[in-house]
Amino acid sequence: MSYQCISVAEAKELMDNNDVCVVDIRDQTSFRQGHIHGALHLHNGNIGQFLADADFDKPLIVCCYHGHSSQGTAAYLVGQGIEEVFSMDGGFEVWKTQFDVEIS
């Protein structure tokens, strides 16, 4: 089992056509300034609870700044038993140039 890297366009299509979970691993300030609509801010302080509550059969998209750090997190989440995990190439920096963002 391993994760897959997908483009922001592929991630958007997956989100539009499926029930997916999106997690954003950027720092809290960056997350508050803008994130993918419905994304969960995943960090060291809440990852245990996230794993306890996660639907391991639901596709999961991991987002970071540029699509690099998300790969390590995606690999970790696959190792925890989540079956379908995607790392978004280009990260939030590419997403925000193409799609709407949510500010919290």
pTM: 0.96
Q: Does residue 104 form part of some domain?
A: no
Q: Which domain holds residue 53?
A: 4-98
Q: Which tens digit of pLDDT belongs to each residue from 36-61?
A: 999 999 999 999 999 999 999 999 99
> 75 with 104: CB under 8 angstroms?
no
The predicted pLDDT at position 104 comes to: 78
Whether the pLDDT of residue 1 is over 90: the answer is no
The catalytic residues are 64
DSSP strand E in the chain: where? 4-6, 21-24, 40-41, 60-63, 85-88
Q: Which domain CATH number covers 75?
A: 3.40.250.10
Measure the CA angle with vertex 37, ends 4 and 83; round to 5°.
30
Q: What's the total number of domains in the chain?
A: 1
- For residue 38, the 8-state DSSP code is T
